[in-house]
Amino acid sequence: MNKTDPKIVRFVNGLNSIGIRIILQANFPWVYIISINGNLIPKEEFTANHGYNLGYVTAQRGGDFKFENLPRTFKLIRKYRNK
């Protein structure tokens, strides 16, 4: 898992540019959203055992990052950005 993966960097930087700060956590091969603008994601929003699943890294060595469900992710971001 490379924290400088272009897809993850573009996603995080794009959100930062509009004033949304997200904290991510990785448990290879999955990447989770832990908080949005300092608001922790509650357990009822979890899509996996460790948090809200943003996506995963494919199995091949140096594999690409794949987003799990972007429409649902942006719905979650809109919900927690101003709480």
Give me the mean pLDDT over the 79-83 stretch: 88
Tell me the CA end-to-end span of the chain in Å, nearest whole number: 31
Q: Using pLDDT thresholds of 50, 70 and 90, give the confidence band for residue 8.
A: very high
- Whether the per-residue pLDDT at 68 is higher than 80: the answer is yes
Specify whether the CB–CB gap between 24 and 33 falls below 8 A.
Answer: yes
More confident residue, 29 or 22: 22
Q: Using pLDDT thresholds of 50, 70 and 90, give the confidence band for residue 31.
A: very high
Give me the mean pLDDT over the 51-76 stretch: 89
- Which residue, among 3, 4, 11, has the nearest Cα to 28 in the 3D structure? 3
Give me the mean pLDDT over the 54-71 stretch: 87
| pLDDT at position 2 | 60
